[in-house]
Structure 1
Amino acid sequence: MRIALAHDYLSQRGGAERVALAIARALGVRRIFTSVYNPATTYPEFADFEVVTSGLNQVPLFRRDPRCALPLLPSAVEGLRIDDVDLVVCSSSGWAHGVTTDARKVVYCHNTARWLYQRDDYFGRGPSLARSVLSGVERRLKRWDRDKALSADTYLCNSAVVADRVRTHYGIEAEVLHPPRGLSAHGPAAAVPGLEPGYLLTVGRPRGYKHTDVVRDAVAGLPRERLVSVGGGGAPYANVVDLHGVSDEQLRWLYANADALVACSYEDFGLTPVEAYAFGKPVLALDAGGYRETVSRDVSGLFIEDLSIEAIRATVRRFRRQEWNDERIRAHGESWSEEQFAQRLREKVGAVAA
């Protein structure tokens, strides 16, 4: 069966991009269709595929930050016509499900469009130019989004949280297929120079809904703790180490040498906890969103009651008082292996193609 993959945009090193790679490997995909592709800022593995882009890829600004092209993305994605295949899998957080094809279409939904339905999480609560521009085209974009969602033969969602949103916004009953952990523990590791083992780790891009700034502020008030923040940003603190441009090899080392992962974002699924499990590390996660589907209380981690600094600090203190079994944590994490994901995905795709 000839299968192509569509993905929103390939301009960042995020969880959705890791899942797109896992989908491509599972289904033997050769061609990936996307709005923009910036090899310098996404995972190098995409260079192994034939990547087909929209006309937006000719604009350097859009390659750097596709959010600048929000009003233009519907027409650009529709212009990606996918022929000569039997089935298209759309890895979508808001755009890829809009590609044009006469083949069967399976949408793997990481989330409904955050900028349309969760704008405060995406833009922050204050005024912004992007929010103002979007308000002028919001009705048109929502109509386009729903029409394209209804063009799919099957909807798969990464979590029950997202399946609820798909039901609310589109009236579609979707199946839940958890994504695999993006990073395997069985690979090369590279130490981060000057960093000693034994720290709290948080991993996330500097987006409002990731809340890395709150984690930083909380740990700053715990002088016996150290925090390593990968990809985030915020006020400098003596006991907080900021790292950017971290390779997969370095990320493996960071997980392996951490005491625990702290995850306080509002995630639709949240890949970092299931990555941490592969290294036998417990997770301190916000009691919200997809974390409720992956964290087993007192087995693989603890829940942070709310997003307050004191709640984070209280959970860190409780974590230090408990004993943790790294083998039990690893066993818990096996549910999210890439092998299990690939098998389930092939079953779902095969049922659509039959």
Structure 2
Amino acid sequence: MKVALVHDDFTQAGGAENLFAEIASIYPQAPIYTSVVNWHKLPSSISRQRIKTSFIQKIPLAAKFYKLLLPLYPLAFESLDLSGFDIVISSTTRFSKGIITQPKTIHVCYVNSVPRFLWNQSKQQNYLPKLPRLAAKPIFNWLKRWDKVAASRVDFYIANSANVAKKVKEAYGRDANVIYPCIDLNLFTPLKIHKWKLKSQDYYLIVSRLVKWKNIDIAIEAAKDLGFNLKIAGEGPDDKRLKKLAKGSKNIEFLGRVDEKVLLDLYRNAKFLIITQEEDFGLSVLEAQACGLGAIAYEKGGAPEIIAGYGILFKRQSKESLKDAIEKSKSVKWNLSEIRKNSLKFSKKEFEKNLTAKIKQYAPPKS
């Protein structure tokens, strides 16, 4: 069975890229097609020799200013030559579903999210500054129509959560099987699995890309009001604005992008992880649980699917609602091993078993 893999792009390092790296490890002989690559953001486990890019890669600074090239992405993916493959597996939050395959080729699309800036008006407002966004409105409308047409080219959908499967149904009228993502359970471990977590270091933790739609503002405002220590791990275009918002607050610390060792220590020693946004899934919640750390999360999105009683949900994306959850967290104690146990079903082995079983089910019959 000849397999090809497709990913939107490698312009940022996030959960979708890490998960794609796992898919790439399951199919190590499969070439990887994408629109554009920032080679510094390519997961280290993926060889450059496997990557085949679109014409966008030849545009100077394309990997840096990829958002400004939105109108080119449909053509970029439609121009990729995917002839000669039995199965093509695309991984998408945006446009890779729009590839064109031969009639005998089965196209399986793993959806991390539908394009938020096309299907959610509030997310569109955060995608570009106001003036470029107004100028681009006809382009967004055209891209939304194209996205729906492109979605019809997929033979089978797999979603990373029930939350995303619902969005696929709403946007495209298509059903999607759910296969949850995985984390490295050998890396993310508690310090002492069988001890009661009576006291942690005195800080709450955010692990996130710093983009406006993540609504990290409310955590900063809550920390300013209540005075609790807040550590923020991650980088992104909203960095300067958030730092300005937190200016003068010694209890708020921006750590930037951290390596796995530092991230592990942060999870192990925090009081709680805070999720302020509506996540399609919420990979950081899983990583935290594997380390024995509970989460305080906004109740919408995919996070409630995996918290499973080891977290506190808040109803509104406001600092007051989050502050209530923070106050509630002060009296909560959980067993490390029980929190850890909930994460075990999200192992790499389980993900590989579920994905390969579905791909075999979808595979074309041998001629």
TM-score under structure 2 length normalisation: 0.88
**Secondary structure of 2:63 counterpart:** helix
Cross-structure match for 1:35: 35
Alpha-carbon distance, 1:123 to partner: 3.0
**In the TM superposition, what are the counterparts of 1:116-135 in structure 2 within 5 Å?**
116-124=118-126, 128-135=130-137
1:53-111 Cα distance to aligned partner (Å, 9 max, x none)? 11111224320142121111111111112233221100011211112322210000111
> Cα distance 1:44–1:274, how it changes in 2: closer, same or farther (>3 A)?
same
**1:218 matched to 2:222:** yes
> Cα distance 1:188–1:59, how it changes in 2: closer, same or farther (>3 A)?
farther
Distance 1:59 1:247 in 2: 31
Letter in 2 for 1:231: G
**In the TM superposition, what are the counterparts of 1:1-354 in structure 2 within 5 Å?**
1-47=1-47, 50-102=50-102, 103-124=105-126, 128-181=130-183, 183-186=184-187, 197-223=201-227, 225-231=228-234, 233=239, 234=242, 235=245, 236=247, 237-297=249-309, 300-353=310-363, 354=365
Q: Quick check: 2:97–2:154 contact (8 Å CA) kept in 1? A: yes
Alpha-carbon distance, 1:222 to partner: 2.2
> Cα distance 1:187–1:203, how it changes in 2: closer, same or farther (>3 A)?
closer
**More displaced 10-residue stretch of structure 1: 311-320 or 56-65:** 56-65
> Cα distance 1:347–1:228, how it changes in 2: closer, same or farther (>3 A)?
same
Alpha-carbon distance, 1:273 to partner: 0.3
Q: Quick check: 1:4–1:87 contact (8 Å CA) kept in 2? A: yes
> Cα distance 1:47–1:250, how it changes in 2: closer, same or farther (>3 A)?
farther
> Cα distance 1:65–1:327, how it changes in 2: closer, same or farther (>3 A)?
farther
> Cα distance 1:171–1:348, how it changes in 2: closer, same or farther (>3 A)?
same
1:190-225 Cα distance to aligned partner (Å, 9 max, x none)? xxxxxx9442110111222211121111112222x2
Cross-structure match for 2:197: none
Alpha-carbon distance, 1:127 to partner: 5.9
Structure 2 unaligned residues grouped into runs of 5+: 191-199
Alpha-carbon distance, 1:147 to partner: 1.8
Letter in 2 for 1:15: G
Letter in 2 for 1:175: N
> Cα distance 1:197–1:122, how it changes in 2: closer, same or farther (>3 A)?
farther
**Secondary structure of 2:279 counterpart:** coil
Q: Quick check: 2:295–2:312 contact (8 Å CA) kept in 1? A: yes
> Cα distance 1:240–1:27, how it changes in 2: closer, same or farther (>3 A)?
same
1:211-249 Cα distance to aligned partner (Å, 9 max, x none)? 1121111112222x2111012531232111101131222
Alpha-carbon distance, 1:185 to partner: 4.8
Q: Quick check: 2:35–2:76 contact (8 Å CA) kept in 1? A: yes
Letter in 2 for 1:34: T
**Secondary structure of 1:228 counterpart:** strand
Percent identical residues: 30
Structure 1 unaligned residues grouped into runs of 5+: 190-195
Letter in 1 for 2:291: F
**Secondary structure of 1:202 counterpart:** strand
Alpha-carbon distance, 1:166 to partner: 1.4
TM-score under structure 1 length normalisation: 0.91
**Secondary structure of 1:75 counterpart:** helix
1:237-282 Cα distance to aligned partner (Å, 9 max, x none)? 2111101131222212221222211011111111110111110100
